[in-house]
Chains A and B, each alone.
Chain A
Amino acid sequence: MCEFNLNCYAHVILCFEKCYTNKVVIIIFLKIFKHCFSGTRFRPLSFEVPKPLFPVAGVPMLQHHIEACAKVPNMKEILLIGFYQPNEELNRFLLNAQQEFKISIRYLQEYAALGTGGGIYHFRDQIVSGSPEAFFVLNADVCSAFPLTEMLSFQKEHGEPNSFVILGTTANRKQSMNYGCIVENEESNEVLHYVEKPSTFVSDIINCGIYLFNPDIFQHIGAVFQKNQQDISVLFTEAIRLEQDIFTALAGQGKLYVYKTLSFWSQIKSAGSAIYASRLYLNQYHTTHPERLASNKEGGPKITGNVYIHPTANIDPTAVLGPNVSIGTGVTIGAGVRVRESIILHGANLQDHCCVLNSIVGWDSTIGKWARVEGTPSDPNPNDPYAKIDSETLFREGKLTPSITILGCNVTIPSEVIILNSIVLPHKDLNRGFKNQIIL
């Protein structure tokens, strides 16, 4: 069984958009070290599809980025830079996106995992060709409203003409330490201090992984690159991280600014956070893509809240769906089925009277009659406006923490059983219920 991980676990996509010269560069980044913890956090879903292509609110994660970029005036080209081996799924996605948005999308493959800064530095010639004044960088695994035009306006009004802007948002004190923390000058919005994942509280303003740069950034990256070349203790000189290596150095130099947004934002690190991200995007569809939201129709299922249903899905009129449900292509949903806070992937078959709550049902899986497939949401505290989704660890004190239930591809759940807080690997045919387990 192959997995989108082996040499090429995509974890970050940076999206560049060049203003006035219409280039967007999206970088699909490989984790610098293959065996890093987060390289496997999207299992078992990552066994089937590269994370950036996992469907969130009905469309591939990356597509939300591209749609946002397409809105910024004069955007015409997207460059994908990453370590992925080119594969069918990625190529198809790129082709479709090109046709839909009428933009050129090219994939530039890194020769090694170069990190967030190293990647753009390596391909800097391609990025600066056409002499753009500025360009955006977007991380792949974030869910955001992408206030790119606002960032552009902000950049013009604040600081030097060639200053850089980081998109920031507010987190609660405890959770802020899981992110890049930004200390700002409240009047000028200059970044005075930057530290990535501190162990003590520094600031509640966090880095959203969305940046606005101009070609000057390459001078700064180049300086770090030269320094690395000289420093024999640096093992891999070409790997440069924007956050740790560049931002920390630029803070307080009058070059780096933070634009704080109140719009929605979340990281998508693990499978569970995909459901939360779906909720955020589905909610956004009211303004951006109302046609993607299902509504109550004659002969159709009962819809509560925000629900996405692909046109090829076949749904019994007695089913009740929502809130926060995405139904993929060719899904069959039988009579009296209840689905809530879940993602149902392509080809799945939910038989009569089954109940699916807080779960991700994998491609081509089957859920038997009256079966209950249930997970525990790991959503941020709804009473705290700044709470973010937990960077969940699967285990705490040796026990599997209750989490979203995930069924891998082609899993069969028999009738009348309960699958609670469990993760089932692909191609499993279960013969009984399970609770709080990983089923290999």
Chain B
Amino acid sequence: MKALILVGGYGTRLRPLTLSVPKPLVEFCNKPILLHQVEALVKAGVDHVVLAVSYMSELLEREMRVQEQRLGIRISLSHEKEPLGTAGPLALARDLLNDDSEPFFVLNSDVICDFPFKDLLQFHRNHGKEGTIVVTRVEEPSKYGVVVYEADSGRIHRFVEKPQVFVSNKINAGMYIFNPSMLSRIQLRPTSIEKEIFPVMAGEGQLYAMELQAHSSTRRFWMDIGQPKDFLTGMCMYLQSVRQHAPERLRTGPGFLGNVLVDPTAQIGENCTIGPNVTIGAGVVVEDGVRIKRCTVLKGSRVRSHSWLESCIVGWSSSVGQWVRMENVTVLGEDVIVNDELYLNGANVLPHKSINESVPEPRIIM
């Protein structure tokens, strides 16, 4: 089976991290975002993944070759030279997706999830129509576009953008499965799948919704991790899921609270309290007496002694000094140095910067 992942362009919402590394390769809980998705697809029987990119990165290409070998599948890159919107890339990859009659998955690259691909395939085959989209329940539906569908069959009636009154609390989760016949609906031009393709398919009774949370005994999580704040929220959800399904992967013992994921090559000092909800990457050094909560610390970084970090992302090879306090979604890009005894509140720091002054109020440090 095949899958198309809409990778897109420069990942600007996840800057400053994406100034150093293309978004699909940014590590989420110690594994590149893309790999979470590809591995889940492979488990569901996918043997050919097409990445729709608008910005070609050598780094991404190289990494894809490595993963092809490792997973024993085929990975193609479909490069859009001009913007094609959310549906256009499917038309561009038409030949790759069309060569058999099997349905293919489509996935938005910012989605981290307890991926339901096997269930989605089953559900899709059962109703036998042209397309199925996964919907997920949210608390504040009026921030999004909601999906209105028949509860028992899943047949979609309509979509409502940012409804003012409560209409539905289910939104498009960014995961779809289509029959190849659906490709004839899309022309090779900038096209919005949500605005131009889905409403037509729904009108013809050809589009169904599968609720993410419905088919599972444990609560399935979902998050769009395209920006730092949501990246951290998604991390918490993922770690909770790891606790449920593979608790041996988490680090426990004195000094570790809640769900903490630590790469085997990382070193943690004495008298630290790490967690809950912390991810520590490869080769990271955490010195003595450090408190870290709700953070991602990326590969090769160092957090020096007695520092206190909450809700932060520490970029690759960065160095956080002693007695530093960082909070409120402070994001350090690659190779940032934070000097001793500083306070960073919501600082968004571009790569290769040295911070010598506190940042008491959220701002971007360029």
Contacts and interface: CB of A to CB of B under 8 A. Distances in A.
B354 A428 contact: no
B337 interface: yes
A1 B19 contact: yes
Contact of A427 (B10, B337, B364): B10
Contact of B350 (A34, A37, A43, A427): A43
Interface in B343-364: 348, 350-354, 356, 360-361, 363-364
B30 interface: no
Nearest to A36: B354
Contact of A37 (B19, B348, B354): B354
Nearest to B366: A43
A429 B55 CA distance: 14
B9 interface: yes
A234 interface: no
Contacts of A44: 366
B80 to A, nearest CB: 14
Given A1-B19, A395-B363, A398-B363, A39 B352 contact: yes
A398 B360 contact: yes
Interface string A372-411: 0000000000000000000000110010100000000000
B56 to A, nearest CB: 12
B141 interface: no
Nearest to A440: B15
A174 interface: no
A39 B337 CA distance: 14
Contacts of B15: 425, 440
Interface string B5-18: 00001101001101
Interface size class of B (residues with CB under 8 A): 20 to 34
Nearest to B12: A428
Interface string A37-57: 101100110000000000000
B20 A40 contact: no
A258 interface: no
Contacts of A398: 360-361, 363
A201 B356 CA distance: 25
Nearest to A410: B10
A37 B357 CA distance: 11
A400 B19 CA distance: 22
Contacts of B337: 35
- Interface of A, secondary structure class, is loop
A294 interface: no
A440 B348 contact: yes
Interface string B295-316: 0000000000000000000000
**Which residue, A1, A37, A428, has most C-beta atoms of chain B within 10 A?**
A1
B352 to A, nearest CB: 6
Nearest to A39: B352
A440 B20 CA distance: 13
A423 interface: yes
A37 B339 CA distance: 13
Nearest to A41: B366
Contacts of A34: 352
A394 B366 contact: yes
A430 B351 CA distance: 22
B335 to A, nearest CB: 8
A427 B366 contact: no
Given A40-B366, A395-B363, A1 B354 contact: no
A423 B10 CA distance: 17
Contact of A425 (B12, B20, B55, B356): B12
Contacts of B16: 440
Contacts of A429: 83
A426 B356 CA distance: 26
A40 B352 CA distance: 8
Nearest to A395: B363
A323 to B, nearest CB: 29
Contacts of B19: 1, 3, 425
5 contacts: A39-B352, A40-B352, A423-B366, A427-B9, A440-B348
Interface of A: 1, 3, 5-6, 33-37, 39-40, 43-44, 394-395, 398, 400, 423, 425-429, 438, 440
Closest 3 CB pairs of A and B: A35-B354, A440-B15, A427-B10
Given A1-B18, A43-B350, 19 more contacts: A3-B19, A3-B351, A5-B352, A33-B354, A34-B352, A37-B354, A37-B356, A40-B352, A40-B353, A423-B366, A425-B12, A425-B19, A426-B10, A427-B55, A438-B364, A438-B366, A440-B12, A440-B15, A440-B364
